[in-house]
Amino acid sequence: MPAAATAFRTSMCFSSQKPAADSDLESNILTPKPRNILHEHPLYQRTNASISLQFKEKILCLEIMGVDSGRALAQNPSLHTAPLPSIHAIVAFLQSKGIHLKDLGRILGMCPKILTSDIKSDLNPVFNFLSYDLRVPDQNFRRVINKCPRLLISSARDQLKPALFYLHRLGFKDLHALAYQDPILLVSSVENTLIPKLDYLVSLGFSKADAVGMVLRCPGLFTFSVENNFKPKFKYFAEEMNGRLEELKGFPQYFAFSLEKRIKPRHMEVVQSGVKVALPLMLKTTDEEFRSLLRQGS
Q: What is the pLDDT along the chain (298 residues), one digit of tens a residue?
A: 444 444 434 444 544 344 344 444 333 433 444 444 444 444 444 445 556 777 888 888 889 889 998 999 999 999 989 999 999 999 999 999 999 999 999 999 999 999 999 999 999 999 999 999 999 999 999 999 999 999 999 999 999 999 999 999 999 999 999 999 999 999 999 999 999 999 999 999 999 999 999 999 999 999 999 999 999 999 999 999 999 999 999 999 999 999 999 999 999 999 999 999 999 999 999 999 999 999 887 6
pLDDT tens-digit profile of 36-65? 444 444 444 444 555 677 788 888 888 988
Contact 253, 218 (CB under 8 A): yes
**Nearest by Cα to 153 from 123, 194, 121:** 123
Helix axes 264-273, 287-297, angle to 10 degrees: 20
Contact 38, 15 (CB under 8 A): yes
Cα(185)–Cα(219) distance, rounded to whole angstroms? Answer: 8
Phi–psi pair at 162, nearest 5 degrees: -60, -40
Chain center to CA of 181: 12
C-alpha gyration radius of the chain: 25
